[in-house]
Chains A and B, each alone.
Chain A
Amino acid sequence: GAGVSQSPSNKVTEKGKDVELRCDPISGHTALYWYRQSLGQGLEFLIYFQGNSAPDKSGLPSDRFSAERTGGSVSTLTIQRTQQEDSAVYLCASSLQQGPYNEQFFGPGTRLTVL
């Protein structure tokens, strides 16, 4: 079946603008994760969804970052008033169920460039 998809694949924006990044998880997967991969920083966890609720938002770097998930499926990560340090690849992953033993499957990512 189809894997995790993300859109857009690339996004270039000007400093101060808002952006929305979209993630379509694998059908039937209830757990969804957002990660960020910055140059030199490695991959960092941002937020976790179980169904439509986000019990763990501990990785969001500031209140300019928010995310939602609707219908237990599609998720949108929103960055308000973008800054140059927000430039990174944003990766989404999904897993079948909550729990530590369920493998996470990753999407291709969205490369965000803030000028």
Chain B
Amino acid sequence: KQEVTQIPAALSVPEGENLVLNCSFTDSAIYNLQWFRQDPGKGLTSLLLIQSSQREQTSGRLNASLDKSSGRSTLYIAASQPGDSATYLCAVRTGAGSYQLTFGKGTKLSVIP
């Protein structure tokens, strides 16, 4: 059974810092990995989707990498801003048939002005 772990569970940084969020998964036979952002009381906003054949994806100040063989992904946020404060979720797509996402429990990020 696929398990996804995110470390740290919470992170507080001063504005302007670069930071890295970590995600690991136990079964390397994934189709893709997705990073989401969740604001309090809101749904999920997709940030980056990395297919299994890719090594990284970039969008603005965000860069996500994928090392499928070691079961790891990182989300790099450059020049953090208070508006980046949210919970970041990592999810992988495995299995056959339904291809549902298996989620980590998230990292709660606070960017202090």
Contacts and interface: CB of A to CB of B under 8 A. Distances in A.
A4 B91 CA distance: 19
Contact of B106 (A33, A42, A105): A42
Given A91-B43, A106-B44, A107-B43, A33 B103 contact: no
Chain B CB count within 10 A is highest, among A59, A93, A106, for: A106
Interface residues of B, number: 25
A30 to B, nearest CB: 13
Contacts of A42: 103-106
B97 A101 contact: no
B43 A104 contact: no
Give the contact-size bracket for chain A.
20 to 34
A58 B42 CA distance: 26
B8 to A, nearest CB: 15
A73 B46 CA distance: 22
A95 to B, nearest CB: 9
The list of the 9 closest CB pairs from A to B, nearest first, reads: A100-B31, A56-B98, A48-B98, A43-B103, A45-B100, A108-B43, A106-B44, A42-B105, A100-B99
Interface of A: 4, 33, 35, 40-45, 48, 55-56, 58-59, 91, 93, 98-101, 103-109, 111
